[in-house]
Amino acid sequence: MRKYLVFTIILLIGFMVSAQEENEEGLEEIPEFSKKTPEPAREFTKKKGKEKPPISDYKIINIHNDTTFVDTTLTIRRDYNFNYLRKDDFGLQPINNVGQTYNSLVKVEEYDHLLPLFGARARHFNFMEAEDINYYQVPTPLTELYFKTTFEQGQQLDAFITINTSPRFNLSVAYKGVRSLGKYQNALTSTGNFRSTASYFTKNDRYKIKAHFVTQDLLNEENGGLSFVPPTDVIGGLSGIEQYLTLDPEEQDDFKDRGSITVNFEDAESILLGKRFYLHHQYAIINKKDSSTTALSVGHILDITDKSFQFDQATANALFGESFQASALSDKVSLEDFTNQVFIDFHNPWVGNLNINVGTSNYNYGYNSILRQIDDLSGEETNITNRIKGDIYSVGASYNKNYKGFQLSANARSILSGGFGGNYLNAAAGYHLNSKYGASVSIHSNSVAPNYNFLLYQSNYENYNWQNFNNENEEDNFKNIETQKIQFNINAKKFANLEASYTKIDNYTYFTKNTDSITVPLQFDRNVDLLKLKLSQTLNFGWIGIDNTVLYQDVSKGDEVYNVPKIVTRNSIYYQDHWFKKALFLQTGVTFKYYSQYTADGYDPVLSEFYVQSEAESAFFEQENHTFGGFPQFDIFINAKIRQTRLYFKVENFGEAFHQNNEFSAPGYAPRDAVIRFGLVWNFFL
């Protein structure tokens, strides 16, 4: 924590000194390629002799310096974003409570990285990485409040405020908090995401700096899902699974209260913690006056990230095998990552934009103990180390060029030396006839080590201990995951957007269950080949709107380890219009969601990871292949916009209100029942 404090104090002192300069210049112009349609931009009005600035002056800048502005419209896409993640959750099937994890109907594609990722990926859906943090420039203070109801006791709240103390110096603070008791036993979630940003540029625009500090805590009570083993004190002697699946009308009434259904345990919880300090600053040696002039700048990026994941359980449970101790189990793993990067950025109207960079990362992942295991039969001693630490040195470059509707872009990065090897390459070419029509093709290739928890893991549960790196026998070490992908995009705004991609993965790494039904890491010794076709379409016929998103996935090779449904679809039909002399904008309709049956991945609470179902897992259900999906889900929504406030009212999973909900999101984990939820997003322009 001391290193964060030192960097923060230095940074704030510099900001406060710089902010004393006179307020003479306005905000920088939004680049033409990054402007969004300003519907509906606020009209200029007189207030105490001053004109109120248009909404397009409230700028949002991402990590790549692409600029958009605050959007207060009410569209069907904004309805899709009104959820716990605050982004479109197409392709994600939630577990029953808000703040719990999601089963991925479409496998998550992580940001490009050279080092392994921290584990507990099931907890990372709501974890904000550096790429998820935005910066701002606003003419007046801007506040946004988000609120949405949860399940049983609790609420969701996301509060944000940003202010420019001068046209060149901006500060923002935000906090997203969620607490939800849930309908099942021991399913409480309590999460918090605090983030603060600062950005500044000098009068002559030569020096620019932006920084953020983020701290996050994501806690979930764990119950292991509905019970597989029938306890003696349960109604009818049935397990939680059997209770939930029963279709006997006489027994259905006993379990309308989901809290009465038996779960595997009620004494465990997991928490993912994270802190990050990020700094990006650059100085223009040759200043860019406009898009027709040459510019040259040098810069530096600093990223200090700490993460930890902890699983606590009061009493050992036989579901996870033997344990080293019978009570007070606590598994904790942490990661410290200190990354520095320096770069040279060159812009020329004829050549384009070229960035060359070199970087170094110091990583330290692991535990505070070394594990020694002795085989009962052979007496052979095996040591499992406690740390993966070291340094890597890397070099990279990026390029982009726009010319008369044509766009070329590429970026690549590779490790030169260090404890890991890895690289990635992205290249794309496209043509946009205008804002409504365009096409592009892109390729992606990367080589990266599996996530840290595949390489090294320690636990109080004896079988959850492994080491798959730096072993004397090379065959015992995991290889880099090799991925190649080609993608085509066709955008026709009036008709549809089409995406087609083909992906090939070598050394695909996954978790699964062994013959003892214990989760273990494995690497697939053959290729995984994946074809994806996606159509997105929004049509408007006067007051009526139709929005369709349909995804087709075909795993031609490796479908035994890479499980996804062939069809995922979301279709909305809705009415929208202005009411009461345009004082209110109303939107109401129904959304249909469906995904085809498939063998869904299971969830392991010890690792906070999803695993591939095996024959041992299917045996618990007394079925050869336990599949999920194939059932429709309906949401009925009524949304309204009054000035800058959007109100949302939704009946989720409407169809489940008329019959017994006996579906699953993952083995042992039920989906959400029918529920009425409401909330709002409120913007204040002071």
Lowest-confidence region among 11-20, 201-210, 328-337, 526-535: 11-20
Per-residue confidence (pLDDT) for residue 236, from 0 to 100: 47
Does residue 25 carry a pLDDT above 70? no
Lowest-confidence region among 235-249, 331-345, 501-515, 583-597: 235-249
Does residue 31 carry a pLDDT above 90? no
Amino acid present at 184: Y
Lowest-confidence region among 129-138, 285-294, 556-565, 586-595: 285-294
Report yes or no on 253 lying in a domain. no
- Once rounded to an integer, what is the mean pLDDT over residues 246-257? 56
Print the domain residue range for 67: 2-225+263-685
Per-residue confidence (pLDDT) for residue 189, from 0 to 100: 96
Report yes or no on 248 lying in a domain. no
User: Which CATH number fits the domain that encloses residue 65?
Assistant: 2.40.170.20
pLDDT category at 635 given cuts 50, 70, 90 is: very high
pLDDT category at 41 given cuts 50, 70, 90 is: very low
Tell if the pTM clears 0.85, that is, is over it: yes
- Once rounded to an integer, what is the mean pLDDT over residues 607-625? 71
DSSP string, 121-180: GGG-TT---GGG--EEE-SS-EEEEEEEE-SSSEEEEEEEEEEEEETTEEEEEEEEEEEE
Asked whether the CA dihedral 293, 294, 300, 306 is positive or negative, the reply is: positive
Task: Return the percentage of the chain with pLDDT > 90, whole number.
Answer: 71
> In a 3-state reduction of DSSP, which class is residue 238?
coil
> Looking at the DSSP assignment, which residues form a beta bridge with residue 411?
398, 426
Of 547, 571, 550, 587, which Cα lies nearest the Cα of 635?
A: 571
pLDDT category at 618 given cuts 50, 70, 90 is: low
Tell me which of 51 and 314 has the higher pLDDT: 314
Model pLDDT for residues 464-483, shown as the tens digit of each residue: 999 999 988 888 899 999 99
Task: Reduce the secondary structure of 380-437 to three states and give it as a string.
Answer: CEEEECCEEEEEEEEEEEEEEEEECCEEEEEEEEEEEEECCCCEEEEEEEEEECCCCE
E strand residue ranges, 230-380:
268-286, 295-315, 327-348, 352-366, 371-374
Model pLDDT for residues 154-208, shown as the tens digit of each residue: 999 999 999 999 999 999 999 999 999 999 999 999 999 999 999 999 999 999 9
Does residue 527 carry a pLDDT above 80? yes
- Once rounded to an integer, what is the mean pLDDT over residues 645-649? 96
Per-residue confidence (pLDDT) for residue 15, from 0 to 100: 43
Tally of domains in the chain: 1
Does residue 405 carry a pLDDT above 70? yes
Report yes or no on 448 lying in a domain. yes
Report yes or no on 89 lying in a domain. yes
Per-residue confidence (pLDDT) for residue 657, from 0 to 100: 61
Of 501, 530, 357, 356, which Cα lies nearest the Cα of 428?
A: 501
- Once rounded to an integer, what is the mean pLDDT over residues 211-237? 78
Report yes or no on 575 lying in a domain. yes
- Once rounded to an integer, what is the mean pLDDT over residues 520-536? 96
Does residue 48 carry a pLDDT above 70? no
Report yes or no on 233 lying in a domain. no
Does residue 260 carry a pLDDT above 60? yes
- Once rounded to an integer, what is the mean pLDDT over residues 425-452? 94
Per-residue confidence (pLDDT) for residue 563, from 0 to 100: 95
CA pair distance 184, 199, nearest whole angstrom: 44
- Once rounded to an integer, what is the mean pLDDT over residues 499-512? 97
> In a 3-state reduction of DSSP, which class is residue 372?
strand
- Once rounded to an integer, what is the mean pLDDT over residues 395-411? 94
- Once rounded to an integer, what is the mean pLDDT over residues 374-400? 85
Report yes or no on 476 lying in a domain. yes
Strands 387-403 and 406-418: antiparallel
- Once rounded to an integer, what is the mean pLDDT over residues 278-287? 96
Report yes or no on 258 lying in a domain. no
Per-residue confidence (pLDDT) for residue 379, from 0 to 100: 63
